[in-house]
Amino acid sequence: MKTFDAVIIGAGHNGLVCASYLAKAGMRVCLVERQPFVGGAAISREIWPGFTISVASYWMSLLQPKIIKDLDLLNNGLEVISVPPSFQPFEDGRSLVFWPDEKRMTEEIARFSVRDAAAYPKFVAHMESIIPYIRRLLFETPVDPTTGRIKDIAKAMSLAWRMRDIGRRVYDVWDILTLSAYDFLNRWFESDQILTAFGCYASGAAGLISPKTPGSAYVLLRPLMRDNATSVGGGGLVRGGMGSISEALLRVARKHGAEVMTGRLVRKVDINEGKACGIHLDNGDYIAAGCVISNAGAKMTYFDLIGREHLNETVIDQVSRHRTKSIAFKINLACNALPRWTSYDGRRLNEPNPGSVTIAENSDELEEAFQSALNGEMAKRPYLWVTTPSAFDSTVAPEGKHVVQIMGGHVPYKLSGREWDDAAKKELLDIVVGQICRYAPGFDKEVLHAQILTPKDIEEMFAMVDGHVHHGEMTLDQVFNRRPIAHYADYRTPVKGMYMCGAACHPGGGVTGVPGHNAAREILHDFGKAFPAEKQRY
Ligand SMILES: Cc1cc2nc3c(=O)[nH]c(=O)nc-3n(C[C@H](O)[C@H](O)[C@H](O)COP(=O)(O)OP(=O)(O)OC[C@H]3O[C@@H](n4cnc5c(N)ncnc54)[C@H](O)[C@@H]3O)c2cc1C
């Protein structure tokens, strides 16, 4: 029988991050992954000969510089390609280029509204004044001030002290976590096109929200959560696809001695006298370990792996209530040519292709699309975020051919009155290609192959309950000390020696690496070992 200090269920990028830190600290670590490959939702696969696809996640905007530096990922195969600004076309022939430079962006906005252009620098200053506090919270272990225990009250007071310089900005943070994206943006902007362009990411692709849903404004923070000015550089596309992040992490974990098993489903955690002491695999094998760590979501970890028999009613209630509904889909295409966006002027950017393209015509269309998904129907005009990695990375497609990846909002997990069969998926493909053709006519003739992932497919392929890309909604009721559930947000669970390290934990989903980092820090603390990393965040 194999025995380890720690066994990790799932080799998503967070499981790999956690394993790397634990192994680096000298623990004997084993990772067990149900898929035949590591990476979870951060994978690259050659789906069609010569075409390498980032099957799920596709855009590196969140992987934290501290983790890249601590684990030396840039010397282990990670290469980030910076891309030109993104672009949003409108049917009236106008378009918006998202210049990172404030002056150019202000000029861009002035083409829609002079008043909004004047407001833009104030909006940027406002966001920049609150983002440092959010970034600092990422690496905090959530505290639980409600237990009444002196130790927890002291931790809460210590956190409050560390954050004391936030002052009255606490109300600004409060607003962005509680308001809708639309209401929040409306404080600065009036043009519907500007409101739509800035708020459209809150359109189902991030959860069961629309820009008019209270609490959806938090999405506006996501592109700012990573400091792109550090020595490890900015975000963008990853050479070879998002799987290259996971491959780099795998290399690091193995270098430090971690053992990795793929193609093995973990059926159950072995709990003896209230303590996790190993795992049972689908083939009957048993692995003993000093602690067990789950990279799976909350419902799977608590109900399938731990089991309700080890949980009290309060915990069962909380986990049952954990909101995981999703309306996000992903379509990956192999193409003869890239979309030719009518309103894109390559000379203005000095680039033949924009870095990525968002499609959202106006706020009414977005709301209508959201309502369709809530009613069990596919939206006729869904929100889309289109990336074209082959325009910037020659390794992902045969010469002269292209990869087009589309993340979309607005299709239900369960269709009303029908199944997600091949005919329904073909209908979704036609809708999405048609939506692109509104702004890039003729693109429908360029598609060679298509992979269509509905929320149900995402659930099945990635073991993400309901297909939620963040392992659960990230609104105020499910963040920080309530993620995944109240009283167990510090990467521990009610079972001694059983931890969680994935996106279901603070600070949530996205390829950030932070849940894996923070979980490793807590586990090493419990084992009386030093955390093998610098304190600074780079
Ligand atoms: C379609 C899609 C698009 C996305 N786009 C982006 C993007 O562009 N940028 C971004 O930053 N984020 C994106 N995300 C979100 C991001 O990919 C995820 O939030 C993140 O990858 C979660 O990482 P994780 O390691 O916590 O969990 P996961 O990646 O879900 O990994 C969990 C692992 O555990 C394994 N597992 C579960 N149960 C068991 C078991 N019983 N036995 C063995 N193994 C098990 C799973 O197979 C999986 O490999 C996207 C997600 C999806 C689905």
DSSP 385-430: EEE-GGGT-GGGS-TT-EEEEEEE----SS-TTS---HHHHHHHHH
Taking only the tens of pLDDT, the chain with its 538 residues reads: 779 999 999 999 999 999 999 999 999 999 999 999 999 999 999 999 999 999 999 999 999 999 999 999 999 999 999 999 999 999 999 999 999 999 999 999 999 999 999 999 999 999 999 999 999 999 999 999 899 999 999 999 999 999 999 999 999 999 999 999 999 999 999 999 999 999 999 987 678 999 999 999 999 999 899 999 999 999 999 999 999 999 999 999 999 999 999 999 999 999 999 999 999 999 999 999 999 999 999 999 999 999 999 999 999 999 999 999 999 999 999 999 999 999 999 998 899 999 999 999 999 999 999 999 999 999 999 999 999 999 999 999 999 999 999 999 999 999 999 999 999 999 999 999 999 999 999 999 999 999 999 999 999 999 999 999 999 999 889 999 999 999 999 999 999 999 999 999 999 999 999 999 999 999 999 999 999 987 765 5
Quick check: CB of 339 below 6 Å from ligand 1? no
Contact 395, 239 (CB under 8 A): yes
Is there a cis peptide before residue 484, judged by omega within 30 degrees of 0? yes
C-alpha–C-alpha distance, residues 32 and 9, integer Å: 5
The single-letter code of the amino acid at 433 is: V
Could you give the dihedral angle defined by the CA atoms of residues 271, 274, 277 and 279, in that order, rounded to the nearest 10 degrees? 20
pTM across the whole model: 0.97
Quick check: CB of 474 below 6 Å from ligand 1? no
Residue 368 in tokens: 């209508």
**Tokens 């192999």, residue located:** 334
- Alpha carbon distances (Å) from 9 to 30, 220, 263: 9, 32, 12
Could you give the dihedral angle defined by the CA atoms of residues 319, 511, 89 and 130, in that order, rounded to the nearest 10 degrees? 80
- Range(s) for CATH 3.50.50.60 in the chain? 2-42+242-323+471-526
Quick check: CB of 38 below 6 Å from ligand 1? no
Pocket test for ligand 1, best of 244, 267, 511 (most atoms within 8 A of CB): 511
Closest Cα partner for 205 from 505, 453, 463? 453
Contact 462, 43 (CB under 8 A): no
C-alpha–C-alpha distance, residues 484 and 492, integer Å: 10
pLDDT of residue 534: 72
CA–centroid distance, residue 264 to ligand 1 (Å): 17
Contact 253, 20 (CB under 8 A): yes
Helix (H, G, I), strand (E, B) or coil at 491: coil
- Alpha carbon distances (Å) from 482 to 174, 338, 490: 15, 43, 10
**Tokens 């932070």, residue located:** 514
Ligand 1 atom 18 nearest Cα:
510
Ligand 1 atom 6 nearest Cα:
57
Q: Does domain 2-42+242-323+471-526 have CATH number 3.40.50.300?
A: no
Phi/psi of residue 380, nearest 5 degrees:
-80, -25
